[in-house]
Amino acid sequence: MRVHLKTGKLVSGEESKAKYNGKKIDGGAATVLDMLIDSSKTLKSITLKTIANDVVIGLMGISLLRD
């Protein structure tokens, strides 16, 4: 899933590849990660570790949802 930062438009991975692959997106875009966590446990911390020198990763926010 990708989100266009200027408009907030959500785009599926398939649509993103078909329509926007290699094209400039006004305002930029970000990848949305969906990770399942065990809801019976308390989240103590989150660590973001980058391992590539040529990639800049920005953590814009985290939302936790309970069922």
The domain locations on the chain are 2-31
For residue 10, the model assigns a pLDDT of: 92
Interacting residues of 37 by C-beta distance below 8 A, sequence separation 6+: 43, 64
Give the whole-angstrom CA distance, residue 60 versus residue 37: 19
What is the DSSP annotation of 2-55? EEETTT--EE-HHHHHHHHTT---TT-EEEPP-----TTS-----------TT-
Tell me which residues of the chain have a pLDDT lower than 70: 53-60, 67
Give the pLDDT confidence of 9-25 residue by residue, as tens digits.
999 888 888 888 888 88
